[in-house]
Chain A
Amino acid sequence: MNVELLHQPDSAIARVTLKAGEELVAEAGCMIAMSGFINASTTLRQGKGGGIMGGLKRLVAGESLFLSVFRSPTAGGEVFLAPKLMGDILQYQMTGNGLVAQSTSYLASESDVDIELGFQGFKSLFSGESLFWLNISGVGSVLLTSFGGIYEVDVDGEYIVDTGHIVAFEKSLNFKITKAGSSWMGAFLGGEGLVCHFQGQGKVFCQTHNPGAFGSLVGSQLPPR
């Protein structure tokens, strides 16, 4: 399949062109538009991590319960996909190495990529964010989304990232959740809460903005539910 990313980083969308008989797996509800002859079906993903348990696991991870599968009978079928929030899209090529991604960052993937709730969530105590991570393996393209622009950091040593700003990281890195400054007072009051301390060698993909912070800013002014 051919992926073209448009309107980065503001409100990036992916324009996927499929070959005859090719399948695209995407988060349900993300299709903007598509050629009239493409078949769409929304199912529980089969295979590794699929079936009912797999679907339930993904619901717990904050992903929608269903994935949509788009299949083009002939060549040249087009599907436009959009993430739920304003932000960027990253196309990452899986080559058999593992990638850990934030649960809400999954957008779409080729059919040979496997998505599973691998890492256990650690609740960010201070901001109330529950973070769940997806364990991505297999071969093929995976499209990830971010809230904000995505920037890549090549870690060789140590690097700190605020937990709400991590999109994905290569499994070759060691990571530890710690407080940002030297004191716990700082962590509580400095608003940084918990940060992720990466060590080793590998890539980290960060997003410039924190959905939780923006959500509170706007959500707190909406009518109560």
Chain B
Amino acid sequence: MTNEIDYKVEHSPAYASLRLDLKANQTVLVESGAMAAMDPWIKMKSKARGGLMKGIGRMVSGESFFVSEFTAEGKAGQLYLSPGVPGDVQHYYLNGNALMIQSSGFVAASQTVEIDTKFQGFKGFFSGESLFLLRATGQGDIWFSSYGAIVEIPIDGDYVVDTGYIVAFEDTLNYQAEMLGGLSFRGLKTGILGGEGLVCRFKGRGRLWIQSREIYGLINFLNPFRPTKSN
């Protein structure tokens, strides 16, 4: 796959870190808070991505409102980016086609890529689980992250995926979010987040990337360790 910005993914797949080698005066858009380290002549500017409405859309989906622009001023520089969760980073080159990415998976992209938020699923009654996707179009590089390792599955036919594990998929696939009754165990108030049985049914041909862990598993695990509110 071609790329415009030179990059290297280190410590894959557990704690992948993205190192971008920017040429002089090259700019890259980065998810807010992802910078780990950089050469001092790289300048940072934060912007509300895509105007106010789109920015709010991102906020609702759980992404932060802002995206930062990093430019290597005058000479080539290195920028190290780290996502918040342990996992992998994957590169994709958009060439006029469209890629759907799970909302919290965006890491970085070339300036020439357009990102749009779409709400796809249902808000689960008990868990608040819903399916938010970002639609990336245009021309350029895009990097997305996962929680856990990334497994690429070429789809040709009919496939069902739990929405919590979707990382990204090519727009050529038809998809539909549905509740699979046989998987839901929300009958009892067990206080567990997730477990709605919300799945995405894919049909057609295209590539799908899934991750090997799901964030609600971590959230439920951490819950008992949180400090309790004192009155």
Residues of A within 8 A of B (CB): 6-7, 10-13, 28-29, 31-42, 59, 64-66, 68, 80, 82-86, 211, 215-216, 218-220, 222-225
Contact = CB atoms under 8 A, between A and B. Distances in A.
A10 B86 CA distance: 9
A11 B148 contact: yes
A209 B192 CA distance: 24
A31 B221 CA distance: 17
A44 to B, nearest CB: 10
Interface string B54-77: 000000000000000000000000
B185 A33 contact: no
B161 A32 contact: yes
Contacts of A219: 222-226
Contacts of B183: 28-29, 31, 40, 42, 68
Contacts of B222: 215, 218-219, 222
A222 B220 CA distance: 12
A11 B217 contact: no
B40 interface: no
Interface of B: 13-14, 86-87, 148-149, 151, 153, 157-162, 165, 180, 182-185, 188, 190, 192, 194-195, 201, 210-214, 217-218, 220-230
A28 B182 CA distance: 10
A29 B185 contact: yes
B9 to A, nearest CB: 14
24 contacts: A6-B151, A6-B212, A7-B212, A10-B86, A11-B13, A13-B148, A29-B185, A29-B217, A33-B153, A35-B159, A38-B160, A39-B182, A42-B185, A82-B148, A82-B165, A82-B212, A83-B217, A85-B218, A86-B14, A220-B226, A222-B225, A223-B226, A224-B226, A225-B226
Nearest to B86: A86
A83 B190 CA distance: 19
Contact of B184 (A35, A42, A83, A85): A42
Nearest to B220: A84
B159 A36 contact: yes
A29 B188 CA distance: 14
B148 A86 contact: yes
Nearest to B203: A36
Contact of B229 (A37, A84, A224): A224
Given A28-B185, A65-B188, A85-B218, A33 B223 contact: no
A11 B159 contact: no
Contacts of B148: 7, 10-11, 13, 82, 86
Given A29-B194, A218-B222, A40 B227 contact: no
B161 A64 contact: no
B149 A33 contact: no
A184 B221 CA distance: 30
Contacts of A42: 182-185
A222 to B, nearest CB: 5
Contacts of A13: 148-149, 151, 212
Identify the 10 closest CB pairs spanning chains A and B, nearest first: A219-B225, A36-B158, A84-B217, A11-B148, A10-B14, A7-B149, A40-B182, A215-B225, A33-B161, A11-B212
Most buried by A among B151, B180, B188, B212: B212
A224 B153 CA distance: 39
A108 to B, nearest CB: 14
A41 to B, nearest CB: 5
